[in-house]
Each structure stands twice: as structure tokens, then as C-alpha cells.
Structure 1
Amino acid sequence: MSTKKRKYLDNYIKYGFVPLQKGDTELSQCVICFKTLSNDGMRPTRLERHLITTHPEFANKPKAFFEARKESLKRAKIDSSGVFRQQTSNIVEASYEIALLIPKNKKSHTVGETLIRPSLLKAAELVQGKDSANKLSYISLSNDAVKGRIDNMSQDIKATDVFEVVLNFFDENRPLWDSLVRVCTEGAPPMLGSRSGFVNKVKKKSPSVVVTHCVIHREALASKTLPAEMRDVMNLAIKVVNFIKTGALNSRLFKKLCKDMDSDHQALLFHTNVRWLSKGSMLGRPYELREEVGAFLELQRKADLYEKFQSEGFQLSLAYLVDIFEVRNAINQKLQGKNINIIPQYDTIPAFMAKIDHWKSRMEDGNTACFANLDSAVSIGQLDSELRKQVIAHLTELKAKFIRYFPDLDEKRKAWKFIRNPFQCEVADVSDGVQEEMLELKFNSSAEDDFETLDLEVF
């Protein structure tokens, strides 16, 4: 059965895409980053998603802006000498090289668009002129572009490469492989491959090593669940933020409005897809400044955005999202820091899962007291039954995700009872090979005194 081929429509230019013919198939090409989407990807929702997520700074540009880009792209392609293709290749290569330097120097991905790109353009304009600056302006260094480049490069990293670095470290610093107790990975295939994976290579050097999947990474993956309705609310909030933040004029006008209204803040915040939980900070600000945002949208005559943003359903859903992201941000922070290891982390996760059950039970009774912003909003309005179902469904799915990513909680916490407090442990709680040593330690009064005064890591 043949697949129906999609046709490019003229109004797709408002998403920054132009048609591109490949054989007898019509594709769509972004006029900003030149990325080509498949024929199946030629849908308004996917084109708009690419624009909003990959080029948020251009999300609110008028149609005329993309028309101008289209003409520039068309003129460039007319060049039969192949210069355009060569220039595009160089631009992409430059983007990859800079994207590689950013993590190597332990810098945030945002430095690409906030510092490096403006510096390149200014230097090029001063030294070589505006034409050179215009050429460099095509180098994509947005948050998502840098993240995408890094992800692409990471596909080429093999277990051998990683193991070679670790092997060099052991050769230079002379630690014994037998002293290696545990290896923690983020769960990528090159790390866990059964034959050629990094872990398998390490086990050949240290057969008794224990392998774990990073707790913080698992928690972040489990947190990335959101029902479609709430994702729509989050996307609308992002759209509002982009409208106000991406234009210099809008940013200045909004800042002045906030100042005139004596607001606690005078700016909204961007988020980055690289860090999912950064959306919590981004969502909290428009909710705090909801009166100012509503007034600004009305002044700018953005009727569609204004009506959706001001609707009671949106405000209640946004309040819940702010609450749940704040809680999850707090959990994420609790899993990090000095003297934090897997034992307290495995106490934090089940406590959070128990709270999810508690919140779900109270929501089923229509009690919103667990969520401060939602509870405050409901005291003014009315909790919609549909929103209550969405919250309950979200909490149910969230709990299921944590169970999936942490299937060994009870088993590990029981096994670590001896480590947490050997003086309140029974001989049956430890393996046969260390039972006699455990008894000696349990009745060592000096060791018990040390245990009372020292941190667990030091003890």
C-alpha cells in the first residue's frame, strides 16, 4: 500500500519552511538552520514545533521575515559554482566546533547564544565589515542547537574511547583496579553494551565491580511525564514567554509595565530543553506576573493569546504545573550536593513516591491543600472536575514512571541496613561472608562512639 505524499502549502512559510524537491518527493527545509524534514514531517504541527523548540528567538517573527530569508536562500541556491553548499558546510562545521568547546570548558549551553555568538558578530563587523558578520549570523548557537550538536557527536562516541580515557587515568595516577568498587553510568548503550560496552571492559579489569544507573539521571527521566492537556498548557506558557522575551522592544515595554505596576520582577525567564526541570523556573515567573502578562498581551492586541492566558482553566492548570515543578526541583536538588551518596538518595526517592500517593488521595477527595498555588487559585475560583482528573492521571503516571526507573528500592534499602547503622543490625541482615566481622564491629564500643560523632562517610 503506497503512502500518501504530502504537498507543501504556501502558508508554511510562516513557520520558516520552504519547499525542497528531491526526486519525485517534496520535502520542507528550514530557512534558518537549513534542516530538511521528511515528506511525512511536512505537517503544520511539526513545522511549528521545530520553529518554537529549535529557534525560539524567531518564533514570533512576522511572515515577511521568513519571506526575506526565503529569497536569500533562493538567491544562494542559484549559484551554480557550489559556493552556497560549501558555505553551508562551513557554517555547520563551525557550529559543531563551538558546540564541542562549550562542554569541554564546563560552560552552560546558553553561553553560545548569550556570549559567543554576539562576540563573533561584533568582532567580525568591526574587523571585516557587515558582510562578514552577516555570514557568521547563520551559525546556529541556540540552546537547542548546541544540545543537538552535542547529542549528534555523542552518537559517535564508542565504549573504547571512554575506556581509553579511564585507562590513561589509572596509568597516570596508579590506583589499583581491585580498589574500584562501583561504576555509575547514565545508561547509554555504549556504556552498557553486553559485549563491547564500557562496563564490560571495566569488569574485565575488576570483575567484582558493581554497576549502577545514575540516580539523578533516572529521577530526571521519570519526571519527564506530562499529560497532553498539561503539555499544551506548558507550550502556551512558553509561547507567551517567547512573544515577550524574543523581541528587544517587547522586553523593554514589558519591563516598563512591570515597573509601573510596582511588580516584584520585571522580566520573564527562558527555559532550556537540555534541562527539563528548568521549565519550573520559567513557568513560575509568568504565574507570579500573571496580571502584568495579561495586561501586556491586551495592550499588544494579542487577542488569541490573551483570551487563552486569562482563561480560568489555563490559570488553574498553570498553578498546578508551577507547584509540581517546584516540588520536583526540590527533589532533584536534594539528590545532589556534598556528602550525598546513593544511600540517602534511596531514602529520598521512596519518600517522594509516598507523597505522590498522598497527593493523589487528597486530590480524589477534591482537596488541593498539598499544592499551594493551585489551592490559592481554587479558593478564588472553582476546581474543574476535568482538571482534577488530569492531575490524578498525571500523579498516577508519575508514580508508575518512578517504579519503572527504581524497581530495586526495597531490595537495596534492606541490603544497606548494615551500612546505615551496623549497631542496630542483626547478623541475619548481612551475607554469610561478613557475619563474624559484623558481630565484632557491633560490640566494639569505641567504634560505636565514633559512629555517633562522625559523618557516615567518614566512619
Structure 2
Amino acid sequence: MFGSEAEKEVRKIPVSESTISKRIHNMSADIEETVCTSVKESEMFPLQVDESTDIGVNRENSSVITTHCFLHREALVAKTISNDLKSVLEQVVKMVNFIKSQPLKSRLFTKLCEELEAKHLNLLLHMEAQWLSRGKVLSRGCELKEEMLTFFTLEQQEEFSDLLADDTWCAKLSYLADIFELLNKVNASMQGKSENVLSSTDKIKALKEKLQLWGGKVKEGNLDMFSHVAVAANSGEIIPIISEHLAVLENQLQHYFPDICTENYDWIRNPFFASISTQSQLTLIEEEQLVELHHDRDLKLLHMQLPLDEFWVQIKTKYPHVAKKALVMLIQFSTSYQKEGEKSSDKQLWELERLPRDPKAFGKRYLLESICPTDTPHEIYKDDPEAVSLIFVDLEESG
């Protein structure tokens, strides 16, 4: 009515605090209602929580199944090292911190690496909360130990330069780099949306047997499985240390991962090839449905096309009892991969979308949970990017 110029002036008026807080409340209530409705309609559902959550509910409800994250347990196993090896790890961290904590020294070290044509130009910081960082710090330190020796010699840091000049100390560093790299590969292999309790258990069982194999080879003087140690000077002197550490890791794995007979669940992975006569944990009606499923050629073709969990969901109507039995196992989270991924995505989202100019970016916070509010804010505030940004920040701060 007053023209486009007046409209622009009106748009400059900031949105009131009550409007913003009401919007946040309505969106939160909408998501809560969506989740509650979905839970009530489901026969069973998984819930993934972090380590700060009390899971004592399983003591009050026997039907609740709890599993400890495989990644957490594997990380606890990796922390078990002798005092001798632990001191090497701590010394490496001190060296890295000496360089990385001071911008000038960090730049000088980078310049030195460039001049020496090193494979890498920087060291990596160790973060206790990030399980894989320990192995990466050690590997990078092992690969740049010559450059570090030169740098600390120039800096007159005799404490560090003497260690790096010691072949036995460097052999221990090489072993730590190798073993943590191998443990990190197992850890990384258990991360992914398609991972389940059965597949993660397989990988842990394989690691147990590898540790036994490596222990036997080390006693024979064979260090080929550890690439850095195999070429390190004085590696023979640390064979007793390596042998002892491998034995400790094997015992810790047994402690944190009690034996699970995954062979009893082969019918879940492939109901068309598993032996039905050995499935003693199934009831009669479950066995009958498994027999029918075993001879269903149409579903055999479907099994080859779908992910395992989706396959069992698809046939739940036709074979409800045996499908439920399978889904009870598959629905469990074997790791906190998604929860950790959500935290990482939150951080990236905050950094990249602090002031989103695309209204569609607003819904991302909820899409991290695969739940989108029924009425998203940009439908109302789409013409005011600053208002959208303000609500976005409030949502991030409110968690």
C-alpha cells in the first residue's frame, strides 16, 4: 500500500524475543510429538545415548536390551599399555605440543619440512576425546622423526633430541605407531550405518585371532606385520616388550568382548543357506516360518537386492515371528557412530551455516536426527535472512 520503499523499511524492524522463543518452542514440541507418535506405533525401537546417560531402565524392564558401544570398548582395550610404552607416548605428545602450541615454532618446523622435502609438513595434535587421534599422532611422529631430531637439535632441546637419537626409543615409537594404526583400522571398519552387532563381533573375533598370530610370529623374531618396526634399528631389543603388549591386548579384548557365538545367527545373515536344523534358539513357529522362507525363491532374489535390515522389515508381514527374532538382533546399535557423527555434523553446521542465506539450510539441524518439523521457520521468515540466522543460532545454543 505504501510502496516497495516502505516495505523495505518495515523489514528492518527486528523480530521480538517472544516471537523467536515461541517459534523454537513450537518446533521442539512438533518434533517431540513426531518422535512419540513413531515410538508408540513401533513394536520395538533402538535408542542411542552417550556415556553420560543413566541406562538403569533395563533393571526395571527386562525386555530392554543394552549394548556397550564397540568403539568405546575397543578404545579402552587400546589404552592398555605398559609403563615403558606409555612413557614413549607421553614424550611424543610433549614434543608435538612444544612445536604446535607456539605458532612461530610451528611455522619454522613447517619450513624445515619443506626444505627437507618431507612427506608431511605438519605434526598432529593428540586429543584424548578423539580415539583415532593417538594412532595418527604416533604415525606422523614416526614419519617425521628425522625432521623432529633436526628441529630440536637446532632449538637446543636436548631432552627431545637425545630421545630421537636413541634407536631403541625410536623402535618403541615405531611399534606404537604400527599397533595403533592396526587398531585404528579395526575401529574405523566398525563405523557406518550398515554396521550391526553381528558384523562388529566378526571384526573383533578376527582381531583376537590376529593378536594370537602376531604374538607367535614375534616370538619367532618375525616382525613383518609391523611395517615401521620391521625396518627400525634395534628392533630385536624390544621383542619382549612387543610380545608382552600383544598378550595384554588379547586378554583385554577377552575382558571387554566376551565370546558371542555368531554362528547361531547365520540364519539372520542368510536364511537361504544356513542350516535350519541347528537353530536351537528358535521356537517351533519361528522354525516353521524359517523353513518356509528358506524355500521362497522370490524372497531369495529380494535378499540379494536389499540391505539386511531392510530385507527383514520387508518380510515382517509374511513371516512375523522369525522376522521379529531377526530384527531384535539387527536393530541394536553396535556403535555410537551415529551419535558421534551427529556431534561432528553439528560443529560443521555451526561453522559453515552461521549466517545461512539459503532458507532451506535452516532445516538441517533437525535433519541430523532424520526428523523435520512440520512447519519450518523459513516459511514465515523466508524474506528476512537475518531473522532466520538469529533463530538458527538460538537453536544451536539450546542444543
| Counterpart among 222, 230, 251 of residue 85 in structure 2 | 230
Partner residue in 1 for 2:235: 383
Partner residue in 2 for 1:441: 293
TM-score, length basis structure 2: 0.65
Q: Distance in 2 between matches of 1:344 and 1:367?
A: 30
| Counterpart among 220, 232, 235 of residue 365 in structure 1 | 220
Q: Deviations over 1:375-434 (max 9, x none)?
A: 121xxx23233x111111111111111111111322xx1332210111222233141241
Q: Distance in 1 between matches of 2:267 and 2:306?
A: 16
Residue 279 of structure 2 is aligned to residue 415 of structure 1: no
Distance 1:211 1:304, change over 3 A: closer
Kept in 2, the 8 Å contact 1:280–1:325? The answer is: yes
Distance 1:171 1:273, change over 3 A: closer
Q: Distance in 1 between matches of 2:37 and 2:126?
A: 40
Q: Distance in 2 between matches of 1:372 and 1:354?
A: 19
Q: Which amino acid aligns with 2:69?
A: C
Partner residue in 1 for 2:7: none
> Which runs of structure 1 show a deviation greater than 6 angstroms over 4 or more consecutive aligned residues?
none
| Counterpart among 239, 251, 266 of residue 400 in structure 1 | 251
Kept in 1, the 8 Å contact 2:215–2:247? The answer is: yes
Bigger fraction of residues in strand: 1
Paired residue secondary structure (2:139): helix
Q: How many residues align?
A: 279
Gaps of 5+ in 2: 1-28, 312-399
| Residues 124-135 of structure 1 aligned to structure 2 (within 5 Å) | none
Gaps of 5+ in 1: 1-164
Q: Distance in 2 between matches of 1:228 and 1:243?
A: 22
- Displacement of 1:184 in angstroms is 5.5
Deviates more, 1:248-257 or 1:172-181: 172-181
Distance 1:270 1:409, change over 3 A: same
- Displacement of 1:272 in angstroms is 0.5
TM-score, length basis structure 1: 0.57
RMSD (CA atoms)? 2.3
Kept in 2, the 8 Å contact 1:283–1:318? The answer is: yes
Distance 1:266 1:304, change over 3 A: same
Q: Distance in 2 between matches of 1:172 and 1:353?
A: 41
- Displacement of 1:335 in angstroms is 0.3
Q: Distance in 2 between matches of 1:441 and 1:209?
A: 28
- Displacement of 1:183 in angstroms is 5.1
Instruction: Tell which has more relative contact order, 1 or 2 (C-alpha 8 A, sep 6+).
Output: 2
Kept in 2, the 8 Å contact 1:184–1:211? The answer is: no
Residue 61 of structure 2 is aligned to residue 199 of structure 1: no
Q: Distance in 2 between matches of 1:438 and 1:300?
A: 71
Partner residue in 2 for 1:259: 114
| Counterpart among 287, 302, 310 of residue 157 in structure 2 | 302
Kept in 2, the 8 Å contact 1:183–1:210? The answer is: no
Paired residue secondary structure (1:370): coil
Paired residue secondary structure (1:441): helix
Q: Distance in 2 between matches of 1:297 and 1:329?
A: 29
Q: Deviations over 1:16-56 (max 9, x none)?
A: xxxxxxxxxxxxxxxxxxxxxxxxxxxxxxxxxxxxxxxxx
Q: Percent identity?
A: 30
- Displacement of 1:275 in angstroms is 1.9
Distance 1:184 1:222, change over 3 A: farther
Q: Which amino acid aligns with 1:249?
A: L
Q: Distance in 2 between matches of 1:343 and 1:404?
A: 18
Q: Distance in 2 between matches of 1:330 and 1:447?
A: 35
